[in-house]
Structure 1
Amino acid sequence: MPVRSVRLSVAALLGACLTTAALAAGPALTLRGDVATTRGLVQDLATAWTKSGHGKVDVQPFNTASGLDALRSGSADIAGSARPGNGSAQESGLVFTPVAWDGLVMITHPGNPVSNLTLKQLHDIYYGKITNWNEVGGRSEPMHVYAVASPGDGVEFSLRKLLFGRGNQPVAAPRLYVNTAKLEEAVTLDPKAIGVTTLSRVAGNRKVKMIRIDGTAPSVSTVASGSYKLYSPLYLVTNPNSPHAAEAQAFVDFAKGDKAAAVVRRDDAVPYNAGSALAAADASRRAEILAAVGARAVPQQPSAPSAAPPVAAPGATYASRAAIAPTSERTAEAKRALEDRRAKAAEKASLKGVHGEATTIDAAAARGPAFAKVTASATVKPTVAKPRTYKVASGDTLSSIARAHAVDVSDLRAWNHLKGNELKAGQVLRLGER
């Protein structure tokens, strides 16, 4: 056979082999999603997928909303999400598959002396009731609560669902960032900061300090055992109508398999299939958290992207709206709601004497921050309101007194000309302006 013919035959054979290998590997996939899921964990899964003889996965970390939008539009084949579907029409056709369990971790600057928070304290921080670090055993300085700006961010949504019973709860977090990576960077520079990210993101990062919750430190072992209560699944999301739907599903199946389990553990997460006890205990765990913080689950109502968040926590809503658009009508509405709430609380407290039949207070309103609705079957004549006072008892703190009388710690200081937090048993405090 002529030399030229031999060369052509070898070239043709090599070309056929390469084509066969490319077809076996499948098309390159694009995966976009939240930083908590994609940067680290999914990137390592993508590397393992490729090394196993499959195609390449182009991982694009950003945030949950961008990943789901890209999946719907067809510019991504898979999305990474730290939350389940929210029940909206936009997400109804997407398939959310849990692949790992991760801890939701509160972080602060290493120089901050606070190392532990209770679930109730964490709830009140996000609700806007606790605003100074000295209320949780720290220095006398304001808290800088950081959050991700997108209302559908996976980490924020999952934490709020645990603490408030719904993922779209507005919170008092005026410092907003595009994703958890930027939030983490900000926390490393601010000793007054607090924010949420995931264990897989910050385990071993000495530039931030992870805060214990009810005395339990976040770790792979405490998440796996369920003793650390703030844990949540990480999801890979697919679109059955995608041109590469079959290949995308194959990647998801790989991420749930035995080969990927070692990768998940190496990235400080728990393989989803290894956490069957966590899934079984999920409902009771959520109920336990809500009972600890004094909240109740609220059915999630899908809302249009442009809809305003519900004004359920006036202090939190006003703080977050003021940071975004201080002169807007929504901010003004939130401010009015906050002022109205405080006025109602003061009026309720002053209604100590009533002529005629006794008034009744709506029980549901009495359990939460909503306004109490007072009804009477006879004419109600409240006594003349007098400045309220409270005599300090042993063991009292400014924060405990403020919570008991529905006032702010900062107001207590102003009304009583206090510069610090020291109180003496027998001291009489004013609970209102003169």
Structure 2
Amino acid sequence: MSTRISRLLIVALFSACAATGALAAATGKTKAKSPAKPAASAAPALVWRGDYATARGVVEDVGKAWEKSGKGRIEIQPFNTASGLDAVAHGTADIAGSARGSAGGTESDLVFLPVAYDALVMITHPSNQVSNLTIAQLHQIYFGKITNWKEVGGKDAPINLYAVASPGDGVEYSLRRLIFGRGNQPVAAPRLYVNTAKLEEAVTLDPNALGVTTLSGVASNSKVKMVSVDGTRPSVATVTSGSYLLYTPLYLVTNKNNPKAAQIEAFMEFIKTDAVKALARQHQLVPYTDAPALAEQDNARRAKILAENGIKMPVEDPASVSGAAHQ
């Protein structure tokens, strides 16, 4: 698991759960005698696999709360979006985490449930003097037309662009869909990593680095610097208002043919509770139902971003890109 997950939040919210677990480990007998655990232990664990954005922002704390409630157990396997969607499609995982909607094709048979909004955050090294980039500059950087920090107000040094290797990664796909109009757009990023957690680690070591991750992943990470976009800093408030344009829904993805369908449905209902929404907010996320205007304004937002880059709004199948179609 990433060591940068907010320890203070976990301690504050789940100290009672931790104390119970410690007592069980110490006695070696509590599990068999406890009246609260049989239902959870009798049910098979739900296997979750997907990107680090949803793992850190939603699933880890929610999994602990789910287990504490006695409803079951979640086995969490954070890696990346593509691995999670593939595992759910082939039945080796029950739930996937994704920072993007369906890309169509084989993913059309999966059910995408939007649970929260997260900001797509451009990060660099704290020593980098550049604090803001425009949408147009990001487009040019990813296209390889801007290659030096001095071209965007920084020092005379190359822009070392970092990206996640998988073309279907949720964070990368969502950013490219916003600034290029299609999520599978090739970009000039020679430094590739398996997931956003590894990308973030690399950025901490490179004064000339630039890469994209999520607000929930780096809000408390002082080893990286968040870059404002078009003069607006990423935050819960600016995502909720829509003034920060680079945001994406986070999805939990399931397969309707899974034999654990009833158990999965119960977990999905649990996700909608006020307690889980509170967990999301504490991880710098906006619960999906807290900001209905963001879904309503999505086409206008995307058209505005693409217009700044001289790109016409593409015609898309709404069912392949919108979580609203899968709620």
TM-score normalized with structure 2 length = 0.84
Q: Could you say what secondary structure the match of 2:109 adopts?
A: coil
Report if aligned partners of 2:56, 2:216 keep a CA contact under 8 Å in 1.
no
1:20-55 Cα deviation digits (max 9, x unpaired): 932697331110001111134211111111122210
User: Rg: which structure is higher?
Assistant: 1
What residue is the counterpart of 1:54 in the other structure?
A: 71
Which 5+ residue runs of structure 2 have no aligned equivalent? 1-30, 318-327
Aligned match for 2:155, one of 124, 128, 139: 139
What residue is the counterpart of 1:292 in the other structure?
A: 308
Within-5 A mapping of 1:164-183: 164-183=180-199
1:163 and 2:179 aligned: yes
CA distance in 1, matches of 2:280, 2:37: 31
Aligned match for 1:121, one of 137, 140, 151: 137
Q: Could you say what secondary structure the match of 2:277 adopts?
A: helix
Q: Could you say what secondary structure the match of 1:92 adopts?
A: helix
After superposition, the Cα gap between the structure-2 partners of 1:205 and 1:16, relative to the gap in structure 1 and judged at 3 Å, is closer
CA distance in 2, matches of 1:204, 1:155: 19
1:227 and 2:240 aligned: no
Aligned match for 1:275, one of 286, 291, 302: 291
CA distance in 2, matches of 1:15, 1:257: 29
After superposition, the Cα gap between the structure-2 partners of 1:287 and 1:19, relative to the gap in structure 1 and judged at 3 Å, is closer
CA distance in 1, matches of 2:33, 2:195: 45
Root mean square deviation of aligned Cα: 2.0
State the Cα distance separating 1:74 from its structure 2 match: 1.3
State the Cα distance separating 1:247 from its structure 2 match: 1.1
Q: Could you say what secondary structure the match of 1:227 adopts?
A: coil
What residue is the counterpart of 1:130 in the other structure?
A: 146
Report if aligned partners of 1:34, 1:62 keep a CA contact under 8 Å in 2.
yes
Report if aligned partners of 1:113, 1:138 keep a CA contact under 8 Å in 2.
yes
Report if aligned partners of 1:103, 1:230 keep a CA contact under 8 Å in 2.
yes
Aligned match for 1:104, one of 120, 126, 134: 120
1:238 and 2:254 aligned: yes
CA distance in 2, matches of 1:256, 1:126: 36
CA distance in 1, matches of 2:305, 2:192: 26
Within-5 A mapping of 1:23-422: 26-88=43-105, 90-299=106-315
State the Cα distance separating 1:16 from its structure 2 match: 10
Report if aligned partners of 2:40, 2:72 keep a CA contact under 8 Å in 1.
no
Report if aligned partners of 1:256, 1:272 keep a CA contact under 8 Å in 2.
no
After superposition, the Cα gap between the structure-2 partners of 1:187 and 1:16, relative to the gap in structure 1 and judged at 3 Å, is closer
CA distance in 2, matches of 1:33, 1:17: 32
Q: Could you say what secondary structure the match of 1:53 adopts?
A: coil
Q: Could you say what secondary structure the match of 2:154 adopts?
A: coil
CA distance in 1, matches of 2:125, 2:32: 56
Amino acid in the other structure paired with 1:225 = S
Amino acid in the other structure paired with 2:119 = G
CA distance in 2, matches of 1:15, 1:264: 33
1:27-86 Cα deviation digits (max 9, x unpaired): 311100011111342111111111222101011100001111111221111000000010
CA distance in 1, matches of 2:308, 2:57: 33
State the Cα distance separating 1:188 from its structure 2 match: 0.2
Amino acid in the other structure paired with 1:55 = G
CA distance in 1, matches of 2:159, 2:277: 38
Report if aligned partners of 1:164, 1:295 keep a CA contact under 8 Å in 2.
yes
State the Cα distance separating 1:225 from its structure 2 match: 0.9
Amino acid in the other structure paired with 2:82 = A
1:298-332 Cα deviation digits (max 9, x unpaired): 3569xxxxxxxxxxxxxxxxxxxxxxxxxxxxxxx
TM-score normalized with structure 1 length = 0.64
CA distance in 2, matches of 1:188, 1:208: 6
Report if aligned partners of 2:49, 2:79 keep a CA contact under 8 Å in 1.
yes
Which 5+ residue runs of structure 1 have no aligned equivalent? 1-13, 302-434
